Structure 1
């Protein structure tokens, strides 16, 4: 059971910081927080994402480009211009790395106010950091995996953030339902998002990009937004209206 607990903690913990910090804060700035809280959130993102840590700068800039160029040839990830899931993952990885290391020129409108803690990102994104996290996961499995099929969860844990991205950027552009007519193929993957912490309301998000609450209909409960409301009440963050 320890392996299952670890998997669930990393799935929902990593996903929360991806949607809360990288997506809603870095990319869309749907709320504000102090610089101290921002740096604490950087560290927490690294602790929960571990081997698959994503930089707020790289993610934020790339996601803004996704909204601007959704389902066109300039989109960093689109089922319309990638042959399969794996080719999309590889192209996304390459674009993310080029943005994060500033190897390609990016329009100022995509980088404006996107947070970057360069010194920390250099450590958290390093190959050494990723290897150490992977080794720690393997050691945990050696100690607690009681049956062979639990080992199938190991590669998912090591590559969890990219897998989260694929679920939304591939499948939520192919399957699901639509609340709003938009210029792209974004869809709401689940009517009740128990799996992706609100990210599955992708069509809603493409219609209202900077909206803190991704849910629109009564049954579209956004778990991340509920946590954000609590943090707003506690004055940890301030949600923009």
Structure 2
């Protein structure tokens, strides 16, 4: 039971910071926050994503490219142009690393106002940092596991961020329903997004990419990440942009 609680906590903690910080802040800038809060959020993202830490710079640029080139050959991740799930994610990994390491030229429109903390990213994305988290998670499993099958969950923790990406960028373009006709294959995976905290309302998001709330088209489309963002806004941690609320 303890292992399931640990995995569940890390699943949603990692997912929250990917959605809240990397996606809705770095890529779409639906809210603002102080530089101190931003740096604290960088650190919390590292703690919660562990060995699969993604930089706001690399993620933000790549996600903007995804919206600009959805379902075309220039899309960093598209089931339309990648034959298998694994091929898509390998391509995504390579593009992400090329962006982070400045191996490719990126148009200025994709880099505008992207948050970056170079020294911290070098540390958090380093091999040493990833090995530290792998060892930490393995020791936790050694202490908490009560049966053999629970060890099968350990690789999930190692690859948490890529798994989140696969669910949305592969399955969210193949399965589900649509509220809006768009020029791409984006779909909403679930009526109530219990698994991805609002990220699975992918069709809604592609139709209104600047909205802070990915749900809300129907009463059952509850975006949990947005509800937390409203709370953080109300207590003054972040400031939601009016344009992102009304978009």
Task: Bin the TM-score by the shorter chain.
Answer: over 0.9
SS in 2 for 1:176: coil
- Number of aligned residue pairs: give it: 241
Q: Which runs of 5+ in 2 are unaligned?
A: 243-247
TM-score, L = length of structure 2: 0.97
Residue 11 in structure 1 maps to residue 7 in structure 2: no
Alignment of 1:1-241 (within 5 A): 1-215=1-215, 216-241=217-242
* Per-residue deviation, 1:85: 0.6
SS in 2 for 1:189: coil
* Per-residue deviation, 1:225: 0.4
Distance between the aligned counterparts of 1:206 and 1:63, measured in 2? Answer: 11
SS in 2 for 1:221: coil
* Per-residue deviation, 1:55: 0.2
TM-score, L = length of structure 1: 0.99
Runs of 4+ in 1 over 4 A off after TM superposition: none
* Per-residue deviation, 1:3: 1.1
Aligned-pair Cα RMSD in Å: 0.5
* Per-residue deviation, 1:5: 1.2
Q: Deviations over 1:146-178 (max 9, x none)?
A: 101101100000000000000000000000000
Q: Deviations over 1:87-131 (max 9, x none)?
A: 111000000010011110000000000000000000000011001
